[in-house]
Amino acid sequence: MLWRGTEWDVKEPMIQELRLVYPSIYGTPNIGSVETDIFRIKYFTHCSSCTFCNDWCCSFGVDVDIKNLRRIEQHAAGLEQFTGIPKDRWFVDEFWTEEEYPGGSCTRTQTNERGCIFLNKNGRGCMLHSYSIEKGIDYHELKPMISCLFPLTYDGGALVPAVEIDDKSLVCLDSGETLYRGVREEVRYYFGDAIIDELDELERTVGEYAKS
């Protein structure tokens, strides 16, 4: 645990080292620490019942790791029919090396006038997610890991708030559940039961310090 002097300053973001390093189901990323603000900061959480944000968090597209991209490509014909969008409009024509991303590189979805190219043009939500449900596929197979974990992300081996939390641009901040509670089961899916046991324990500890 990181300390400032002899007391833990709960007002500042703090990085807590975990007892173990937890690899994702894809091998990377690996989580060995956590920013404790994920147990304090709140957001609206229940996107399906939101009536005010108009899918703001999908406005800018999303990173897609290379392994995820290959899984999407396997469903190209079905997704073209489902979305009405040809596959050559799905992703930007560029790749970046990202060692923490599964496969070591990523691209990014293109955007249109509404936002991410996979944002449902006739309603709410991600068309990769809704396509998966229609076809009986686990949505994690197609929906980007970054999207599923949002508003958490990973950086340098740490589980941290997404940049939209740090810069306070996320429109649904300060109500609902904590960042961690909102996507706890997504963290479990990608990193396993053991990390949840440790994070739950740390969550209780942070709560006790916040009360003192």
- pLDDT tens-digit map of 101-124: 999 999 999 999 888 999 987 767
Query: What is the pLDDT at residue 44?
Result: 72
Which DSSP category does 119 fall into? Answer: B
**pLDDT mean over 139-156:** 96
Per the CB < 8 A criterion, the answer to whether 53 and 93 are in contact is no
Q: What is the pTM of this model?
A: 0.87
Helices (H), the chain: 66-73, 76-83, 127-135, 145-149, 163-166, 179-182, 184-191, 193-211
Per the CB < 8 A criterion, the answer to whether 210 and 70 are in contact is no
Burial of 56 (0-12, 13-18, 19+ CB in 10 A): middle
> Helix, strand or coil for residue 113?
coil
**pLDDT mean over 78-102:** 97
Q: How confident is the model at residue 43 (pLDDT cuts 50, 70, 90)?
A: confident
Which pairing describes strands 96-97 and 30-35: parallel, antiparallel, or unpaired? unpaired
**CB under 8 Å, gap of 24 or more: what pairs does 179-182 form?**
179/37, 179/38, 179/39, 179/41, 179/42, 179/43, 179/151, 179/152, 180/38, 180/39, 180/152, 181/45, 182/43, 182/45, 182/151
Q: How confident is the model at residue 206 (pLDDT cuts 50, 70, 90)?
A: confident
Query: What is the pLDDT at residue 7?
Result: 41
Q: List, in order, residues 6 or more apart from 5 with CB less than 8 Å away.
A: none
What are 160-199's pLDDT values in tens digits?
998 888 777 666 567 788 999 999 999 999 999 999 999 9
